Amino acid sequence: MNPESLIASAAINIGLAMVVLSLFSILKKQPSNAPIYYARRLSNDMSFQMIHFEPSFTLRRFLPSVSWISRAFRVSETEILHNSGLDALVVIRLFKFGIKFFVVCSIVGIAVLLPVNYNGQDAPSRSDYSMDSFTISNITSGSNRLWIHFACLWFISLYGLYLLYKEYNEILVIRLQQIQHIRHRPDQFTVLVREIPFCNEHNARACSADHFFSKHYPHDYHSYQILYDEKDVEELVSQAKSIARKINDLKERSVVKETKRGTFLLNESEHDRAKLALLEEKLEELRLRIHQLQCEGQLKQKELPVAFVTFKSRLGATLVAQSQQHSNPLIWITSMAPEPRDVSWRNLAIPSRILPLCRLGVVVAASLLTIFFVIPVTAVQGIAKFERLKKWFPPAMAIQLIPGFSSILTGYLPSAILKGFIYIVPFAMLGMAKLGGSISKSKEEIKTCNMVFYFLVGNVFFLSLLSGSLLDQIGESFTHPKDIPTRLASAVSAQADFFLTYILTDGLSGFSLEILQAGLLTWDAIKSCICFCRKEKDPYLYSLPYFRVIPMVSLSILIGMVYAVVAPLLLPFLIGYFCLGYVVFINQIEDVYDITYETYGKYWPYIHHYILVSVILMQITMIGLFGLKSKPAASISTIPLLLLTLMFNEYCKIRFLPSFRNFSVQRAMENDELDMKSNRLEMNYENASNAYSPPCLQPFNFVASAGSSSTQPLVSAS
């Protein structure tokens, strides 16, 4: 990639980001956009009047501003923890880790490595790549200057491990404090039990669960909630909700017509009333059918071998969840229950013996998607290597007839196209993870994080690196086979151009489009045109997409670490990436995204793992580069650093990971004692016994909208 292409990419991304962020700052001031930009505030029982807007027809309301940026920097971690929980704070801490790490790396890279690289040869480097003179490829083979890179590698690695340890320890402390602070949560008293044997004596599974736990845990056992196959109820409820929406829309439309046109639509109103009566009759039939399916006799025939068992203390629940209940480990399988709002009810109906097949299917599907993605990644690298393509395909030279187009083609388009393809990957992976049988939504998203991260590492990083190198070496490698190691060493640093444009696109364009919510703006405009009679809009409330944010940011950390010593010119751009991401997601967490569950920071061990993978890849890359640069002593001296990193990983697994997977007996006992002192223990486990009622047992109320004349429930089954 030539300098013109790199400059074109930077100019387009910076310009697009400035335009989009300016547009966002204006649109956020408009009251009509509050359901998009203040969705979370409106959903948290906050009235529209409590959100401050500029007075109508004032100039400030239509001028761009940066007040939202200064507000984001004023939000403290304590406020995020209090308002959004530890999981949201973990996302913010990930951005802060990137800022802390790459600020120090940038100082080292710009002050030390950049001059060393630039002066690495007596004659100026002649290369097709704009950054080649500033990378390690500009150092002559066997040069003692490589020892400076070796020292910087050790410093950056040790600094990264120090930050990782510090973050892991601090987040663990916050996690334990949160568990103690939120002692009323029912999941602390509840155990999920699967594969409950059938009781032949009473012809039911429910009594089997009650007999087993009352016999083996007579002092701690409190109650149970058996689960049922609720497919029939779900289908009927879905139909009832659809009919209820049609009734509400019909009533609203009739009110608007009568108000605007008086008595001229008498016949049409009679038609609407007849249609309304028919829909209400269907709704009543569905209500009676749902009520019939909720009867005890019907439910008893649909019992599942799954139950939520509540205990009188956290200590009792912890001991049961972490121990084997039967000599046959395939029955009475216990684990701590997820938070009630986090439960994936449909997956609990999947038998445990089928779960391995479900997980295998997810792995196969994810692998096929990864293999399929080879095509767009290779195509993107073909565009990026346009200078090579001209030699193989001369007609492509016609593109150069358009001034500046070749620079845009090779500089901006490859990363933009790749980012467009990547955008759909997390959602596809989430759909696959939901088929894996996870017992909670959080586990589905954590699995998605893993799949997306390794997909990005395999396709975006390694495949981009290998396909770019392959496109570079076709022809020349066959004619000069002895030069293959040297050419590959040069190709590793040559891909820094592409990854720099990727960081610019993912950060500037990606984060600015994230905060603009362009898709929702478009949908809201279409909806407003179609449903013009609606005066009040429901907020567009969605959960914080951990599965999309965490892997994407972790990939940027990986790219930055691998190229920290190879191409230090990339590091300052990463600081801008993490700073922009920090303010964007502070805004999104505070105003836009809903927090639908809380795992007390269980995402951090996975983030720690992703960053550690990045550190290891950086060290392995440098071992190879030192070898290719004819400095075997530096390669051998880096091996102890790699072993030290692996030992650090094992230590963290022993020291921190168990506290994220399980509740310790000590903490459970301490929290029980605090509840007993405040006389809240009995109230907490009583609440827990009622918290896990299956959806098929809950009353379904379909209430007409505010615009309707009726205020009574259309369906109310209990």
d(CA 494, CA 566): 10
Partnered with residue 411 across adjacent β-strands are none
pLDDT band (50, 70, 90) for residue 171:
very high
One domain for residues 372 and 236: no
d(CA 574, CA 562): 13
At position 107, the amino acid (one-letter code) is I
One domain for residues 361 and 319: no
**Alpha helix stretches (DSSP H) within 217-354:** 231-261, 266-293, 296-300, 314-321
Domain membership of residue 713 (yes or no) is no
d(CA 106, CA 303): 60
One domain for residues 222 and 177: no
Is the distance from CB of 167 to CB of 131 less than 8 angstroms? no
Question: At residue 139, does pLDDT exceed 70?
Answer: yes
Is the distance from CB of 608 to CB of 97 less than 8 angstroms? no
CB atoms within 10 A of CB 254: 20
Instruction: Give 448-484 pLDDT, tens digit per residue.
Output: 999 999 999 988 888 777 665 554 554 444 455 555 4
Domain that holds residue 152: 3-121+132-184+356-662
Domain membership of residue 103 (yes or no) is yes
Domain membership of residue 210 (yes or no) is yes
Instruction: Give 382-411 pLDDT, tens digit per residue.
Output: 655 555 555 544 554 555 555 455 555 555
What stretch of H or E contains 149? helix 146-181
How many domains are contained in the chain?
Answer: 2
Domain membership of residue 557 (yes or no) is yes
At position 377, the amino acid (one-letter code) is V
One domain for residues 463 and 578: yes
One domain for residues 324 and 397: no
Instruction: Give 605-649 pLDDT, tens digit per residue.
Output: 999 999 999 999 999 989 888 888 888 999 999 999 999 999 999
State the DSSP string of 632-690.
HHHHHHHHHHHHHHHHHHHHHHHHTHHHHHS--HHHHHHHHHHHHHTT-HHHHHHHHHT
One domain for residues 472 and 530: yes
One domain for residues 342 and 385: no
One domain for residues 529 and 406: yes
d(CA 623, CA 632): 8
One domain for residues 312 and 387: no
d(CA 692, CA 696): 11
Instruction: Give 701-714 pLDDT, tens digit per residue.
Output: 655 443 333 333 33
For position 46, what pLDDT does the model report?
58
Instruction: Give 475-533 pLDDT, tens digit per residue.
Output: 444 455 555 444 544 556 667 777 888 888 888 888 999 999 988 998 888 877 776 55
Domain membership of residue 669 (yes or no) is no
At position 97, the amino acid (one-letter code) is F
Angle in degrees, CA 702, 708, 711, rounded to 5: 55
One domain for residues 449 and 310: no
d(CA 57, CA 688): 52
For position 458, what pLDDT does the model report?
87
- Which has the higher per-residue pLDDT, 567 or 4? 567
Please compute the mean of the pLDDT values over residues 554-583 and round it to a whole number: 93
For position 130, what pLDDT does the model report?
57
Lowest average pLDDT, out of 13-22, 347-356, 368-377, 513-522, goes to 368-377
d(CA 491, CA 437): 43
d(CA 389, CA 411): 15
Domain membership of residue 92 (yes or no) is yes
Domain membership of residue 418 (yes or no) is yes
For position 389, what pLDDT does the model report?
53
User: 20 is written with which tokens?
Assistant: 């989009």
One domain for residues 203 and 323: yes
Instruction: Give 199-218 pLDDT, tens digit per residue.
Output: 776 667 778 888 899 999 99
Reduced to 3 states (helix: H, G, I; strand: E, B; else coil), residue 480 is coil
Average pLDDT of the chain, as a whole number? 82
d(CA 496, CA 326): 57
Is the distance from CB of 487 to CB of 472 less than 8 angstroms? yes
For position 2, what pLDDT does the model report?
62
What stretch of H or E contains 448? helix 441-456
Percent of all residues in the chain with a pLDDT value above 70, rounded to a whole number: 80
One domain for residues 408 and 431: yes
Domain membership of residue 105 (yes or no) is yes
